[in-house]
Homo-oligomer: A and B are copies of this chain.
Amino acid sequence: MLDVAHQAGVSRGTVSRVLNGGYVSVDARDAIEAAIAEVGYVPNTAARNLVMQQSRAVGFIVHEPHALFLEDPNIGSIMLGANEILSQSDYQLVCLIIDSERDTTRVARYLSGGFMDGAIIVSARAHDPITRVVSQLALPTTFVGHPPDLRRLPFVGIDNISSAKAITERLMATGRRRIAMIAAALDRDSGADRLAGFRAALGEKFDPNLVEEVPLYEYSAGVVGMRALLDRDPGIDGVFAASDAVAAGALEALREAGRVVPTDVGVVGFDDSSWALRCHPPLSTVHQPASGLGERAAELVLSQLQGEKPDLSGILLDTPIVWRESA
């Protein structure tokens, strides 16, 4: 910056004013801009951050990247939605991956070190150490699909209970008598709530024997889960899978077993991901407003950055049911 100032025959202060606004004469501005171009000067972000005490960057923190990036079709949309909003306010979205213990400490350091003005945290669980770090840090944060023990932190999400209840009821309305569920990720709100919604829809007809629990929202879990259900009760004529990927796996297992969908068995999923349209037959499912979640999360972080108190009751987005041929 001093080089630019000398080159233009002015002082550092005037160069700074050209860059950040303030009273500058036309002559000085022209000379400085020419000097900047000639010297190839680029302001040093670290120095600027240091003195400004802010970085204009918001972290997007992803846990369990193997499950999410490789299996969850929504993560990309959430990220792009958030980027869209942050970009409009000239904030940089910085995606950080936590894939190991080492990553956790490094990311925590990154967040605590004044490197980030805020954070969006995806798919955190109660026991994830980063949630503790963030809540101690008083960093403007929003959770997407918050973990069970953090009711006091701002979040955006969907109402998994009522969405699951609604699609189960819709499935019941097609005249199915024995409806099973492949429940996944019960250690998360989303997983547990989808099961709760299923249970609520069935009411007295709920039969715990017709619920198969699988660990993750995965295709392979869907295959295994469906096989187990058919073993236990060959008379099943309806299935609610906890996600589209699980439903896709279930369709595969049903095909193996010689069942025709939707004639013999009706199948519904959850997410309305690209899976849903590409299954055979196309899946009836709950539409998850993924990019909307990212946008709202980014907006919540930005509003906190402007000093507003966040709404701790959380924001729930609508989840319309999309009815296709699988049920």
Q: Which residues of A contact B (CB under 8 A)?
A: 40, 42-50, 55, 60, 65-66, 69-71, 73, 75-77, 79-80, 83-84, 87-88, 90, 92-97, 99-100, 102-103, 106-107, 109-110, 112-115, 136, 219, 248, 252, 255, 274, 278, 280
Contact = CB atoms under 8 A, between A and B. Distances in A.
A115 B46 contact: yes
Contacts of A248: 278
Given A110-B45, A114-B45, A80 B95 contact: no
Given A46-B49, A115-B45, A97 B80 contact: yes
Given A102-B87, A278-B252, A69 B76 contact: yes
Q: So how many copies of this chain end up in the complex?
A: 2
Nearest to A102: B87
A295 to B, nearest CB: 13
A99 B84 contact: yes
Contacts of A110: 45, 92
Nearest to A91: B106
Given A70-B73, A252-B278, A97 B95 contact: yes
A143 to B, nearest CB: 19
Contact of A76 (B48, B70, B278): B70
Contact of A44 (B40, B100, B114, B252): B114
A42 B114 CA distance: 9
> Which of A43, A45, A100, A136 is the most central at the interface, judged by chain B CB atoms within 10 Å of its CB?
A45
A109 B42 contact: yes
Contacts of A96: 92-95
